[in-house]
Amino acid sequence: MRILTTTILAAFLLMSCVQEEVVEEIYEGPETDFAVAIIHPTEGNDISGVVTFTQTDEGVRAEATVSGLPAESLHGFHIHEYGDCRAPDALSAGGHFNPTDMPHGGPTDTERHLGDLGNLPTDEDGVASIDFVDEQLSLRGEHSIIGYGVIVHEQRDDLVSQPVGDAGPRMGCGVIGVANPEF
Ligand SMILES: [Cu+2]
């Protein structure tokens, strides 16, 4: 009887060890070098666009083309904390992606939300095209941007006002997904 009890105890101990190991494994998201977000218009707007993110040795290269915006103007451009565009005004995407708990800033500031990508500048046709490398972004590890939201705002981000740069309502929303590298 004692042997049986000891055996059962040993089995329980072993099981709890195995369980702990599983719990301690940290999920770091999908391994990819290419991500993409399709920008859909919020209610009452007619913008559309594509944003791609490519992992490089220097950081993440962001390339965006967004059309249907007002001509010759600046529009706040951020990664937001939820990849959730369900609300007609895209407020479901929440605040800025800010896993390092920093104040709002511009993309070249050391103190910034990781999601602070600055502004999209439009041409005379209301089309914004940008291509830059963000040294602080990553498609890997615990601060990976995969799965979060991309928002295009109606107003200019002043890069200073807390917590969101006074960029106004959201004109477009997209979700950053793993891109097909062969597309
Ligand atoms: Cu924003």
Could you give the percent of the chain with pLDDT greater than 90? 80
pLDDT of residue 1: 52
DSSP for 154-175 reads SS---SSSTTTTT--SEEEEEE
Model confidence over 3-22: pLDDT tens digits?
Answer: 556 665 565 555 555 555 55
**Cβ atoms of 78 and 173 closer than 8 Å:** no
Which own/partner contact pairs does 40-48 have at CB distance under 8 Å and 24+ positions apart?
A: 40/85, 40/172, 40/173, 40/174, 41/68, 41/171, 41/172, 42/88, 42/89, 42/90, 42/169, 42/170, 42/171, 42/172, 42/173, 43/88, 43/89, 45/171, 45/172, 47/152, 47/171, 47/172, 48/172
Average pLDDT of the segment spanning 149-160? 97
Gap from CA of 118 to ligand 1 centroid (Å):
9
Say which range, 29-33, 87-91, 128-132, 142-146, has the weakest mean pLDDT: 29-33
Q: Which residues surround ligand 1, an ion (CB under 5 A)?
A: 78, 151
Mean pLDDT along residues 32-58: 97
For 90-112, write each residue's pLDDT tens digit. Answer: 999 999 999 999 999 999 999 99
The model's pTM is 0.84
Separation of CA 116 and ligand 1 centre (Å):
8
Map out the domains of the chain as residue ranges. Answer: 34-178
* Superfamily the domain 34-178 falls into: Superoxide dismutase, copper/zinc binding domain (2.60.40.200)
